[in-house]
Amino acid sequence: MAKKYQENIEYYLTLSASDFINLYEDVSRDLRRYDAMMPILAEDKSFYDQQYKVYEQYIDRLQKKSNFFWAYFSGRYQGTKANESS
């Protein structure tokens, strides 16, 4: 099951900014499900440790991508608003 969420996250990481934001609910849902599955993996400590490293890498990559996109769109919006007042 972890593989399915990893594949989905890999797909989300390939999306353009607008597609990523449009699919934000799907991204969020898959992350919540992946997160909920992690304690189940803890039954096998070595497997859990390995999978948790992968999980943290995905979280980091998604966070960087979403922060960049939100900043981009926010800055674009503010730039538009500033131009309108001129």
Question: H or E stretch including 40?
Answer: helix 24-41
Helix (H) or strand (E) holding 63: helix 45-84
| Among 12, 32, 9, residue whose Cα is nearest residue 21 | 12
Angle at 17 between CA 13 and CA 66, to 5 degrees: 65
Question: Global pTM?
Answer: 0.68
**Higher confidence at residue 52 or residue 79?**
52
Question: What confidence tens digit (pLDDT) does each residue in 25-76 have?
Answer: 898 899 889 888 888 888 888 888 888 899 889 888 888 887 776 666 566 5
Structure tokens at 19: 């597609």
The CA-atom distances, in angstroms, between 80 and each of 19, 68, 71, 76, 83 are 21, 18, 14, 6, 5
